[in-house]
Amino acid sequence: MEKILEFQKIEKSFSGHKVLSGVSIGVLDGEIFGLVGESGSGKTTLARIALGLVRPDSGRILYKGAEISVLGQKDLRRALTDMQMIFQDPLAALNPKMTVESAVKEPLIVRNIEKESIMPRLISLLEDVGLSGRFLTRYPSELSGGEAQRVCIARSLAADPKLLILDEPVSSLDFGLQNEILELLMALKERKDLTYMLITHDLMMAEQRCSRIGVMKSGEIIETGSTADIFKRPEQEYTKQLINDAI
Amino acid sequence: MYKHVLKRLVSIIPLLIGVSIISFFVMHLAPGDPTALFVDPSVSPHELARIRSNWGLDHPVHVQYFFWLKNVLRGDLGTAYIINRPVTELIAERIPATLLLMATSLFFILLVSIPLGVLSAYKKGRGLDNIISVLSFLGMSIPSFWLALMLMLLFSVKLGFLPSSGMSDPLLADTSLPGKLADIVRHMVLPVLTMVIIGFAGLTRYIRSGTIEVLGQNYIKAARAKGLSERTVLFKHALRNSLLPVITILGMTIPDLFAGAFIIETIFAWPGMGRLGIGAVFSRNYPLIMGIVFISSLLIILGNLAADVLYSVADPRIRTEGKD
């Protein structure tokens, strides 16, 4: 399998505080790559760098083998619509003043989808995530957490992405809903041939869902490998501790 | 929603009564009374007593208040002393000029503040943000009367570009309608410019901080990830959300504009309600003072109510709460 996304020696500091130190990892096409680590280890910053939302201080980012870190803001954004992000808090990820229709429609407009096809595509996207057309007129304040996360997924799919970055996608949801959303994401991955980079602090979830894992600590990748290897034979003390804590 | 508006409309009545009680009694606390203007050797004490009696000033203050209130309930704000004309008529003559000045100033304040606030937030910490911040603080610190006089000195006295006072040139009374309108616009430039310079600063800062907060939200990051242009992200996603609190601030700006109009109208001899009010205060024209306070309060309360209603119309979260 080829690498769809690759980070090479990424460095990032905020106000003199180093957040990422020489991070080098790759996400293989079609896999679910888990990025695990405690809060503040730099996982979300790395995801935002991938999406061009944060510029790295140094290092290279390659998407399908082409370096995207050298592109200007405008070209980068155009190139990166292939990558979408699902945020931890779905209600904060939806514009409170936009209906579901407006939110999901925007990526279709950016992709120059013909006007007549937009409405059927919207309905189909909502059905893909287990919602129906009656949600189109709703505002985020009229949605439950689970419904809002489904809308966020539909919005991401509207951009026709190849890679979804899932940043703690279920941690703000009730336990019952967590599994529902994860199952939905797994089904969509198979149906739409997607690649996932799953950012989580929940090692059990990573063990169940990911094919490979990268462990982050204090802005560094300290261990990468197949999920089975990491869980059976963790090399680093920190990884062992994380696994023990999760059990 | 309609219930809420109706409730707020009903609450205006005790609020206006409260404002009128405070104003009426504070006004009478000042030493002396309107007949002091007639203290002249040619006016006999008997004549003065007759004037006081005619104006109802020989009654205790609380009785005077109830007389005033009874007349107000019948739609009569009384008759102005000396000028001897109904207060409602005097205010009705002057209020269009004040509203014209205020509405134009408010329009330009918004026109300047919104783009400056958004740009300042977008370029946070950079040169443009610093320049806008310095200008805003200058606007907040300059006293309006001083600015008005300086602008008048520069544009009217030194350069002679603009008229220094009034609302129209009496020499142009026979000119065409477009000519008259152009003349009014020329007379409006300096008072409006003063009110905009004083008024844009606070609003720009509010919009700046609101936009900075909104730009950090995840839905903005999601909007960028969708591939939207920065302009769309900024003006469609961020601005609509950051402008929401501005509606409330606008409601709170109305009293400031009224207060400002009193000073600006007096300096620029603008024939509005503010100038009429200042004249009424100096001549202790009680019915006129009360009439102006009453109408100003009513407009301020209605302005705030309009801001509340607008807020709920603009924010779907409040709108949907109302449905429950």
HEC profile of A219-243: CEEEEEEEHHHHHHCCCCHHHHHHH
Q: Do B241 and A77 touch (CB under 8 A)?
A: no
CA A93/CA B218 separation, integer angstroms:
5
Q: Is residue B324 over pLDDT 50?
A: no
Contact A22, A10 (CB under 8 A): yes
CA-CA-CA-CA torsion sign (B125, B127, B132, B135): positive
The residue among A195, A199, A201, A228 whose CA lies nearest residue A212 is A228
Amino acid B91: pLDDT: 92
Query: Does residue A232 sit at the B interface (CB-CB below 8 Å)?
Result: no
Q: Is residue A240 over pLDDT 70?
A: yes
Q: Is residue B60 over pLDDT 50?
A: yes
Size of interface A-B (CB pairs under 8 A): 77
**Distance from the first to the final alpha carbon of chain A:** 32
**Domain total of chain A:** 1
Q: What is the pLDDT of residues B62-120, one digit of tens each?
A: 999 999 999 999 888 988 888 889 999 999 999 999 999 999 999 999 999 999 999 99
Mean pLDDT of A128-141: 93
Contact B104, B272 (CB under 8 A): no
Is B7 part of any domain?
A: no
Q: Backbone phi, then psi, for B307, in 5-degree steps?
A: -65, -40
Q: What is the pLDDT of residues B22-35, one digit of tens each?
A: 999 998 887 777 77
Taking a contact as any Cβ pair under 8 Å apart, which residues of chain B between 230 and 269 contact chain A?
Answer: 230, 237, 240-241
Work out the pLDDT band at B53, boundaries 50, 70, 90.
confident
Is A138 part of any domain?
A: no
CA B108/CA B89 separation, integer angstroms:
30
Amino acid B38: pLDDT: 63
Residue the block writes with tokens 């096809």: A117
The residue among B248, B241, B252 whose CA lies nearest residue B211 is B241
Say which residues have a Cβ less than 8 Å from residue A133's Cβ, sequence separation at least 6.
Answer: A122, A123, A126
Count CB-CB contacts under 10 A for residue B66: 12
Residue of A nearest to B228 (CA): A110
Is B158 part of any domain?
A: yes
Name every chain A residue with its beta carbon within 8 A of the beta carbon of B316.
Answer: 96-97, 139, 141
Q: Give chain B's mean pLDDT.
A: 86
Q: Is residue A194 over pLDDT 80?
A: yes
Is A135 part of any domain?
A: no
The residue among A147, A34, A36, A136 whose CA lies nearest residue A90 is A147
Residue the block writes with tokens 């899932």: A166
The shortest C-alpha distance from B242 to chain A (Å) reads 11
Is A227 part of any domain?
A: yes
Q: Give chain A's mean pLDDT.
A: 90
CATH of the domain at A207: 3.40.50.300
Q: Do B237 and A95 touch (CB under 8 A)?
A: yes
CA B242/CA A64 separation, integer angstroms:
38
Q: Do B225 and A97 touch (CB under 8 A)?
A: no
Amino acid B317: pLDDT: 66
Count CB-CB contacts under 10 A for residue B205: 21
Is B232 part of any domain?
A: yes
Is B89 part of any domain?
A: no
| Exposure on the CB side of residue A117, measured as CA atoms within 13 A | 7
Is A219 part of any domain?
A: yes
Q: What is the pLDDT of residues A101-119, one digit of tens each?
A: 999 999 898 888 888 999 9
**Interhelix angle for B61-73 vs B2-29, to 10°?**
140
Best probe of the B interface among A55, A88, A95, A138, by most B CBs < 10 A, is: A95
User: Higher confidence at residue B257 or residue B293?
Assistant: B293
Amino acid B323: pLDDT: 47
Query: Does residue B213 sit at the A interface (CB-CB below 8 Å)?
Result: no
ipTM above 0.85, yes or no: no
Contact A157, A125 (CB under 8 A): yes
Q: Which residues of A138-171 are buried (b: 16+ CB within 10 A; e: fewer)?
A: bbbbbbebbbbbbbbbbbbbbbebbbbbbbbbbe
Is B4 part of any domain?
A: no
Q: Is residue B322 over pLDDT 50?
A: no
The DSSP-derived string for B82-137 is TT-SBHHHHHHHHHHHHHHHHHHHHHHHHHHHHHHHHHHHHTTTSHHHHHHHHHHH
Structural domain range at position A85 = 3-89+163-246
Amino acid A138: pLDDT: 94
CATH of the domain at B160: 1.10.3720.10
Q: What is the pLDDT of residues A13-38, one digit of tens each?
A: 998 899 999 999 999 999 999 999 88
CA B221/CA B228 separation, integer angstroms:
10
Say which residues have a Cβ less than 8 Å from residue B55's Cβ, sequence separation at least 6.
Answer: B34, B35, B81, B286
Q: Do B226 and A73 touch (CB under 8 A)?
A: no
Q: Do A77 and B227 touch (CB under 8 A)?
A: yes
Mean pLDDT of B4-18: 87
Report the share of chain B in percent with pLDDT over 90. Answer: 38
Query: Could you say which DSSP state residue B79 is in?
Result: B
Q: Is residue B321 over pLDDT 60?
A: no
Q: What is the pLDDT of residues B246-281, one digit of tens each?
A: 887 887 777 778 788 888 999 999 999 888 998 888
Q: Is residue B318 over pLDDT 80?
A: no
Give strand pairing partners of A58. Answer: A11
The residue among A62, A52, A41 whose CA lies nearest residue A238 is A41
Is B182 part of any domain?
A: yes
**Domain total of chain B:** 1
User: Higher confidence at residue B171 or residue B111?
Assistant: B111
Mean pLDDT of B131-139: 93
Contact B230, A73 (CB under 8 A): yes
Is B226 part of any domain?
A: yes
Is B245 part of any domain?
A: yes
**CA-CA distances (angstroms) from residue A28 to A33, A64, A75, A239?**
8, 10, 24, 22
Amino acid A5: pLDDT: 92
Q: Do B240 and A97 touch (CB under 8 A)?
A: yes
Query: Does residue B73 sit at the A interface (CB-CB below 8 Å)?
Result: no
Q: Do A92 and B315 touch (CB under 8 A)?
A: no
Is A12 part of any domain?
A: yes
One-letter amino acid for residue B259 of the chain: A
Longest pairwise C-alpha distance within chain B: 86
User: Token pair for residue A209?
Assistant: 């869902």
Q: Do B315 and A96 touch (CB under 8 A)?
A: yes
The DSSP-derived string for A82-132 is GEEEE-S-TTTTS-TTS-HHHHHHHHHHHTT--HHHHHHHHHHHHHHTT--
CA B281/CA B138 separation, integer angstroms:
31
Residue of A nearest to B316 (CA): A97
Q: Backbone phi, then psi, for A22, in 5-degree steps?
A: 55, 45
Q: Is residue B313 over pLDDT 70?
A: yes
